[in-house]
Amino acid sequence: MKEFLEGLFAYDRAVNEKMIAAIMANSSKVDQRTLQLIGHIVSVHQIWNSRMLQTEFAADTWAIPNLITLQDNNNNNTLSSLDIIAKNDLSATFTYKNTSGAEFTNTYTDVLYHIINHSNYHRGQINSRLSQSDIQPVVTDYIAYKRQVVSE
């Protein structure tokens, strides 16, 4: 399971990098909502990492991001998630509070998978918005990523 999750987070980082690059290359055509969505992906990943690490991190998850900072945060998120994967029993549970202060308990595996699933959902929204702005959507399919990694 650890190896599989490590691969998912490598994929997540790579496709986020491609999305950020596409947005930067077409900044004059990209609307505010698209910027909010890519920022949301990265900031929510940071929040979930902080919950798993039992540290405090608060962010406006819908703020317009600085794209250069976003690239760094995307990379740091992946490194943090990989560290969490390496150092924890993934079937173990941990307790955290959501943004409303309600307390929940989940396994590391469930939360790590949630991060990937959440990101995919919003990347689909971004690609739809890119298409509507006459920008080539980014190929984000996991299998396309795997084909590329295997061929390198």
64-78 as b/e: b if 16+ CB within 10 A? ebebeebbebbeebb
Contact 37, 129 (CB under 8 A): yes
Q: Which of 108, 112, 110 lies closest to 7 in space, CA to CA?
A: 112
Q: Would the pLDDT of 150 be above 90?
A: no
Give the H or E element holding residue 97.
strand 93-97
Contact 88, 34 (CB under 8 A): no
- Confidence (pTM): 0.95
Question: 2-147 maps to which CATH number?
Answer: 1.20.120.450
- Kind of pairing between the strands at 93-97 and 103-107: antiparallel
Each residue's pLDDT tens digit, 81-135:
999 999 999 999 999 999 899 999 999 999 999 999 999 999 999 999 999 999 9
Each residue's pLDDT tens digit, 102-115:
999 999 999 999 99
